[in-house]
Chains A and B, each alone.
Chain A
Amino acid sequence: MVVVGAGQAGLQAAEALRAGGWTGPVLLLGEEPVGPYHRPPLSKAFLAGRMETAQLAMRAPEALARKQIALRTGVRVVAIDRAARELGLTDGSRLPYEGLVLATGARARALPIDASDVRGFFILRSLADATALSAGLAACAREGRPLVVIGGGFIGLEVAATARGLGVEVTVLEAAPRLLARVLTPALSEWFEGLHRSHGVTVLTNAQVAGLDTDASGNATALTLSDGRRLPAGAVVAGVGAVANDELAREAGLECDRGIVVDDCGRTADPHITAAGDCTARRRADGSLLRLESVNNATEQGRAAALALLGQERPFRSTPWFWSDQYDRKLQMAGLSAGADEHVLRGRLEDGSFSVFHLRGGHLVAVDSVNAPREHLLARRLLDAGASPMPAQCADTGFDLATLLPAASSAGGA
């Protein structure tokens, strides 16, 4: 069994193959020079210089060896020969497989301007990216030069928060009329904008980047906007979304649509190939495609995809969850709020601790919470149980949500 991609999904898949009873060889192939590592700290503690690389490791080499998982790093797969069931590697060698899990992840979406050769221009996906950006932020802090963040999504805003923590002046540029527009309701977007402003960040929405100015040595000096505004910059970081690495699958003739199309079990149309994590687009019961980029999705799909190769069905249909840490605030999200028609606030925005309950046709579909971990966990269990509070109960902080849980799942409750 071969797993292509040694990130969160790939590692989970490799381990799940063993847990699922596969006794033959398991080969985990990673393109990066290092073994599996945790990505969430890359925009936070690691970026701030408060964490060593060794603290990011997901497994020690001996832990993988004990499970007889062979890890090969620095390896790039260039082709899948489905008829022969072989992979082609960059060095020209071929690798046979019985079953294949594609966990190739996603890459940073490119900007419309070409900035790749500019010194002081950064993206953030990998450990190498984070190491470079961390040095860039430290230099900005030392030399008193500003950071410009292109993109008001989670990565951009977490980087902005970390940079402010280092004392760097920060401007966040967002092309849409509001921050986090694709994932949050307008009221929450506004709250996050207020949070960043209160920490001294300049937030510019409806901002279109036109160009990046450099000095004679190729260092970034300023960013220009389409309306002519010019923002001085010691460093520029772009976080404008991710693109699924689905080319391998596409070239092998597997269905791809902004990701490798899979079912609830991570299966493709080829019974010997499954896929998991950021590289996938999951076909739902109603035919729509769902792309999730999260630790939770990578983990659950990684397991499902591995077990599917062993003929075991373990569909991933549980409530998706996600989180983002910015300053001293933790946003926790559960469920999918897209399509919700009613948004009920529980708590007060001005207290900095609240939840928003999203309902569709009167039924709870998602909950976003800020610094309300107990309430959030309870809401997540309501979603898992398919239980739904009435809108008035959502809004009433005096109402105990736990009473809506089925008896079994409220045991040992919060």
Chain B
Amino acid sequence: MAHITYVAAGGQSTTVDLPDGWSLMQGAVANGIEGIVGECGGSCACATCHCYVDEADLGRLPAPAEGELAMLANVAAERRPTSRLSCQIKASPALEGLTLHLPDTQE
């Protein structure tokens, strides 16, 4: 399990407890958090689950794979050094307390 905090573009913050193995996209969608779409269902094919990992947490994540890096070129909002696709990040105890900031648009 891991508590993940999603901070909407408008500043509203929601913290949810995710089972291990759930992607952070699934966690957002299942908990009704707006700002993450995940149109392709988590197949790293659509770039609509874009998020910014809090800078303080960036070092806790494994580097993105080639497919994710490629899709990040297609995100709708500004791409930043902290940009990730939330469908490619899986909850685990190592991510306890992680914070994600959501972009203002996904499409």
A contacts, CB < 8 Å to B: 38-41, 50, 54-63, 66, 295-296, 299, 321, 323, 325, 330, 332, 373-374, 376-377, 412-414
The 0/1 profile, CB within 8 Å of A marked 1, for residues 31-61 of chain B is: 1101000111111111000000000000000
A295 touching B39 by the CB < 8 A rule?
A: yes
Complex alpha-carbon distance, A332 and B71, angstroms = 12
Seed contacts A38-B40, A60-B30, A60-B32; 7 additional CB < 8 Å A-B pairs: A41-B42, A41-B43, A57-B26, A66-B32, A323-B43, A325-B43, A377-B74
In the complex, what's the smallest C-beta–C-beta distance from B97 to chain A, in angstroms?
22
B93 CB–A CB distance under 8 Å: no
Hey, which chain A residues are within 8 Å of B73, CB to CB? 374, 377, 412-414
B32 touching A62 by the CB < 8 A rule?
A: yes
Residue from the set A295, A332, A413 with the largest chain B CB neighbour count within 10 Å: A295
Complex alpha-carbon distance, A118 and B41, angstroms = 32
Q: Assess A323 versus B70: contact at CB under 8 Å? Given A58-B29, A62-B32, A295-B40.
A: no
Hey, which chain A residues are within 8 Å of B67, CB to CB? 330, 373
In the complex, what's the smallest C-beta–C-beta distance from B3 to chain A, in angstroms?
18
B41 touching A377 by the CB < 8 A rule?
A: no
B69 CB–A CB distance under 8 Å: yes
Hey, which chain A residues are within 8 Å of B38, CB to CB? 38, 58
The chain B residue sitting closest to A44, CB to CB, is B43
B71 touching A377 by the CB < 8 A rule?
A: yes
Complex alpha-carbon distance, A295 and B44, angstroms = 13
Hey, which chain B residues are within 8 Å of A323, CB to CB? 40, 43, 45
In the complex, what's the smallest C-beta–C-beta distance from B43 to chain A, in angstroms?
5
The chain B residue sitting closest to A55, CB to CB, is B26
Q: Assess A60 versus B41: contact at CB under 8 Å? Given A373-B66, A374-B73.
A: no
In the complex, what's the smallest C-beta–C-beta distance from B87 to chain A, in angstroms?
10
Complex alpha-carbon distance, A60 and B29, angstroms = 6
Hey, which chain B residues are within 8 Å of A321, CB to CB? 45
Q: Which A-B residue pairs are the 8 nearest by beta carbons?
A: A38-B41, A373-B70, A60-B32, A63-B32, A62-B32, A414-B73, A374-B70, A40-B41
Cross-chain contact of B43 among A40, A54, A413 (Cβ < 8 A): A40
A332 touching B26 by the CB < 8 A rule?
A: no
Cross-chain contact of A57 among B29, B70, B71 (Cβ < 8 A): B29
Q: Assess A377 versus B22: contact at CB under 8 Å? Given A54-B30, A59-B29.
A: no
The chain B residue sitting closest to A412, CB to CB, is B79
Hey, which chain B residues are within 8 Å of A325, CB to CB? 43
A376 touching B43 by the CB < 8 A rule?
A: no
A55 touching B30 by the CB < 8 A rule?
A: yes
18 contacts between A and B (CB under 8 A): A38-B40, A38-B42, A40-B42, A54-B30, A55-B30, A59-B32, A60-B30, A60-B31, A62-B32, A63-B32, A332-B45, A373-B66, A373-B69, A374-B66, A374-B73, A377-B73, A412-B73, A412-B79
Cross-chain contact of B41 among A62, A63, A295 (Cβ < 8 A): A295
Hey, which chain A residues are within 8 Å of B79, CB to CB? 412
B70 touching A56 by the CB < 8 A rule?
A: no
Complex alpha-carbon distance, A59 and B34, angstroms = 10
The chain B residue sitting closest to A46, CB to CB, is B41
Hey, which chain A residues are within 8 Å of B40, CB to CB? 38, 40, 295, 323
